[in-house]
Amino acid sequence: MSFKGIDMSIDVIILAAGQGTRMKSDLPKPLHPLLGKPIINYVLAAAAPLVDNPPVVVVGYGGDQIKKSLGDQARFAEQADLLGTGHAVQQAEELLKGKSDLVLVVYGDMPLVRTKTLSDLIETQKNNPGPLTLLSLEEKNPRGFGRISRDSTGKILAIVEEAEATPEQLKITELNAGMYCFKADWLWQSLSKLDLSPKGEYYLTDLVEMASREELSIASVSAEDPEELLGINTRVHLAETCLVLRHRINHEWMLSGVSITDPISTYIDSDVQIGQDTVVLPNTYLQGSTEIGKNCTIGPGTRIFNSLVGDHCEIEFSVIEESRIENGVDIGPFSHLRKGAHLGPGVHVGNFGEIKESYLGEGSKMGHFSYLGNAQVGKDVNIGAGTITCNYDGEKKHQTVIKDGVFIGSDSMLIAPLEIGENASTGAGSVVTKDVPPDTVVVGAPARQIRKKTKK
Ligand code: UD1
Ligand code: CA
C-alpha cells in the first residue's frame, strides 16, 4: 500500500531526439524497422497501457519524419539543440508541468522493455518518499552504460557516466538502464538546476546525485531480464535486438498452440496473428499485418506479407503479398500472389502461378505456370497450363471475366477486355480476342467458335 494512495496520475516521456550517429544512416534511429515496426513503436506500445494520455516523444534529429510516422499515438516536444538527456526531458515541461503526479522517462532506443518492468518502476516510486526510482541491471558487460554508485550502506549516491568514471568505478557491474520514474514537481524544479557535464551536455543522470545530496530517498528496481534493456546504438545492436525479439515472438506462438519446426529460421513480425494448430515450417517469413487461420501448414520457404489466410490452407515455397486467401486453399510450390489477389474457398494454385488484382471463385484450379491479372474468375473454373491474361495493351490494364464452370485450355492467351461465358471452353493454344458466349467451344488464333456444348 502506498502511503499516498495509489491513484496517482502519470505521464510518460520517451526520449528520441538523439542523432543516432553510430547507425550511419539517413533514417532517424527511432524509425529503423524491427520485425515490421519502427523501433520507437515498441517503446510506445510498452508504455501506452500505463497512462491515460498519449506519451510525449521528445524529437530532434529527423523530428518531422518521426511525427509523421507516429501520428496521434503520441504528443511531441521538440529539442532543437541536442544538449543531453536532461535537456531533452526539459523540453516536455511546457506540455506536462502541473498535469501529473509522476513522470516516467524512457529512452526511445530500448524496444525490448516490457510493460511489467515499467509498471514495477511506477509502483516502486508510488511507495518511495523520495523523488525518484531508477531501473538498474546487473551485467558483466557494461556496454557503455552509466554505473550506479552506492555508499557502504547501499544508498545510491550517483550515476557515473562511463566517460567520466574512475578505473575503480568502471568495475561496478550495477548499471543504469536509463528508465526512471520521477515525482513530477521535483523533476521540473530540479532540471533547471542541472550543470553542464564535461561533455557539454545536461545529463538527466545528474539528478540522481542531486537527490542524494539533498538527502532524499532514491529507490531502484532491478531488471529481472537484462535482455529487455538492450539499447540500439549501432546496426549490430539492431540485429541482436531483432534476434531476441524474434525468439520472444516465436516462443509466445508456440505456447499458444502454433508449431514452429525451426524457430531459428522463422521470422514472425510482431503484429502477425496465427490460429491454433497451424504449423510453420522452416525459412518462413510472416510479415506486417498478416493473419493466418487455424490448422494451416505454411512453408517451408514462404513469405507472406500483409495478407489474410483462412483455416486449413497449405502454402509451400511461395510469396504472398497483400492478398486474401479463404479456407482450404493450397498454393505452391513456387507461386506468387501479388497485391489484390483473392482466392475463394478450396482454390488450388500449383507451381509457377502469378496472380495480381484477381479473384478466383470457389473450387477453381490453376495448376501450372499461368498468369492472371485483373481477372474475375467464377467457381469451378479450370485454368489450363500456361494460360495468360493479356491484361495490358501498353497503355491501360483491362479486365478479363471468366464465368462459372469454364474450361480454359492449355496455353490460352486471353486478350482483355474479355468475357468468357458460363461453361464455355477454349482449345489448347487459343488466342481469344473476342467475348465467348456461354456453353461455347472456341479454338485457334484468333479463336473461333467451333460448336455449342450440349448440356449434360
Ligand atoms: C544514457 C545514460 C546512461 C545509461 C544509458 C542507457 C545519460 C547521461 N546517460 O547514456 O547512464 O546507462 O543511457 O542506455 O542519460 N537523447 C535525446 N536528446 C539528447 C540526448 C539523448 O533525446 O540531447 C535521447 C536519445 O535519442 C536516446 C536517449 O536519449 O534515445 C539516450 O541517449 P544516448 O545518447 O544514447 O545516451 P547514452 O550515452 O546511451
Ligand atoms: Ca544509448
Q: Which helix (H) or strand (E) holds 213?
A: helix 206-213
Among the bound ligands, the one closest to the CA of 15? 1
Calpha distance 187→181 (Å, rounded) = 10
Q: State pLDDT tens for residues 44-57.
A: 999 999 999 999 99
Distance of CA 287 to the CA centre of its chain: 8
Q: State pLDDT tens for residues 235-273.
A: 999 999 999 999 999 999 999 999 999 999 999 999 999
Q: Are 446 and 431 in contact (CB under 8 A)?
A: yes
Q: Are 15 and 106 in contact (CB under 8 A)?
A: yes
What does the buried/exposed string (b/e) look like for 302-329 if buried means 16 or more CB atoms within 10 Å of the residue's CB?
Answer: bbbbbbbbbbbbbbbbbbbbbbbbbbbb
Calpha distance 139→174 (Å, rounded) = 7
Calpha distance 287→82 (Å, rounded) = 35
Q: State pLDDT tens for residues 204-230.
A: 999 999 999 999 999 999 998 989 998
- Output the average pLDDT for the chain: 96
Q: Are 419 and 393 in contact (CB under 8 A)?
A: no
Q: Please give the biggest Cα pair distance in the chain.
A: 100
Closest CA to 97 of 4, 196, 219, 190: 190
> Does 108 contact ligand 1 (Cβ within 6 A)?
yes
Calpha distance 255→247 (Å, rounded) = 12
Amino acid at 432: V
Pocket test for ligand 1, best of 23, 61, 82, 85 (most atoms within 8 A of CB): 85
Reply yes or no on whether the pLDDT at 30 is more than 60.
yes
pTM for the full predicted model: 0.91
76 C-alpha to ligand 2 centroid (Å): 20
172 C-alpha to ligand 2 centroid (Å): 18
Reply yes or no on whether the pLDDT at 3 is more than 70.
no
DSSP character at residue 20: -
Task: Please report which confidence band the pLDDT of residue 1 belongs to, taking 50, 70 and 90 as the band edges.
Answer: very low
Calpha distance 38→34 (Å, rounded) = 6
SS3 state of residue 175: strand
Residue 394: its pLDDT value, please?
94
How many C-beta atoms surround the C-beta of residue 210 within 10 A?
Answer: 18
Calpha distance 334→316 (Å, rounded) = 7
Task: Please report which confidence band the pLDDT of residue 2 belongs to, taking 50, 70 and 90 as the band edges.
Answer: very low
> The C-alpha cell of 174 is what?
550495477
- Grid-cell match 464465368, residue found: 403
Percent helix, strand and coil across the chain, each rounded to 5? 20, 30, 45
143 C-alpha to ligand 2 centroid (Å): 9
User: Considering just the CA atoms, what is the radius of gyration of the chain in Å?
Assistant: 30
> Does 136 contact ligand 1 (Cβ within 6 A)?
no
Q: Mean per-residue pLDDT for 45-72?
A: 96
Pairing relationship of beta strands 33-34 and 37-38 according to DSSP bridges? antiparallel
Residue 456: its pLDDT value, please?
57
> Does 30 contact ligand 1 (Cβ within 6 A)?
no
- Grid-cell match 523501433, residue found: 39
